[in-house]
């Protein structure tokens, strides 16, 4: 089981959202690079980065500098830490894949494009074997995309099966209703995703303290190989170094 601390980038700063709402932003640091270095010092082997601006489709066209600013932060983090970096948010073009891999990312998480253009994602998987993971973000079993602001008629279990068939290397599964709440993870639903997909799965959303980590370890499907922790770190509810030990 790999514990993966998270950094969500909004306007180049480190933030957390509650249930994915851009109206409920908590800002924690203007220097996400220093946050990443702190994770490394605590013993992290992986760091989860999300470009929230790109996920919401705030491109340079309608908000100059935002997306590029976050990409610049991502490049700086990959250069300054020895941890492996996984990146999600706004990966919708082959150019995004190339840019982020060139910047040093080891794993890319695709969500919106996975739903809207699965044929394109399948092509990417053939070109970059083992690098691309599915980002499945769901509210009560229904998938949401575009920074969780757009609902779909697609169930999470169906998308998980499709992800396997398309050649994706794994799944990051986020329970939107738990994300940023500190109220505990949705282990049951994540277990179901691991069961139907038969892929490695990373659980995301709801971790509020060490007891939640222990519950995941005790009750997880064997396919759940990692979990992402965000707000619990920033609010001092977990001590990363102690969790890694």
- Report d(CA 159, CA 196) in Å as an integer: 10
Active-site option among 53, 96, 137, 139: 137
Q: Which residues pair with 87 in a beta bridge?
A: 49, 108
- Report d(CA 154, CA 183) in Å as an integer: 26
- Report d(CA 97, CA 202) in Å as an integer: 20
- Report d(CA 146, CA 225) in Å as an integer: 26
- Report d(CA 138, CA 157) in Å as an integer: 10
DSSP classification of residue 89: S
8 flagged as catalytic: yes
Helix axes 66-80, 94-102, angle to 10 degrees: 40
Comparing CA positions, the residue from 137, 131, 88, 136 lying closest to residue 109 is 88
Element (H, E) at 147: none
31 flagged as catalytic: no
Active-site option among 8, 139, 179, 186: 8
The catalytic site residues sit at: 8, 137
């Amino acid at each position: 089981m790999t514990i993966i601390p998270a950094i969500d980038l909004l306007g180049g700063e480190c933030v957390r959202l509650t249930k994915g709402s851009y109206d409920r932003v908590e800002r924690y640091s203007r220097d996400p690079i220093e946050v990443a270095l702190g994770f490394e010092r605590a013993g992290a082997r992986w760091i989860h980065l999300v470009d929230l601006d790109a996920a919401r489709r705030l491109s340079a066209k309608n908000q100059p500098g935002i997306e590029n600013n976050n990409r610049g932060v991502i490049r700086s983090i990959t250069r300054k830490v020895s941890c492996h970096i996984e990146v999600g948010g706004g990966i919708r073009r082959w150019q995004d894949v190339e840019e982020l891999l060139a910047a040093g990312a080891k794993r890319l998480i695709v969500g919106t494009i996975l739903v809207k253009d699965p044929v394109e994602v399948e092509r990417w998987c053939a070109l970059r074997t083992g690098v691309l993971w599915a980002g499945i973000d769901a509210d009560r079993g229904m998938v949401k995309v575009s920074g969780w602001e757009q609902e779909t008629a697609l169930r999470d279990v169906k998308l998980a099966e499709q992800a396997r068939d398309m050649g994706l290397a794994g799944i990051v599964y986020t329970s939107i209703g738990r994300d940023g709440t500190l109220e505990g993870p949705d282990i049951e639903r994540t277990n179901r995703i691991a069961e139907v997909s038969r892929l490695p799965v990373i659980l995301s959303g709801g971790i509020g303290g060490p007891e939640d980590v222990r519950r995941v370890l005790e009750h997880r499907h064997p396919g759940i190989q990692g979990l992402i922790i965000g707000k619990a770190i920033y609010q001092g509810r977990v001590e990363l170094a102690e969790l890694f030990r």
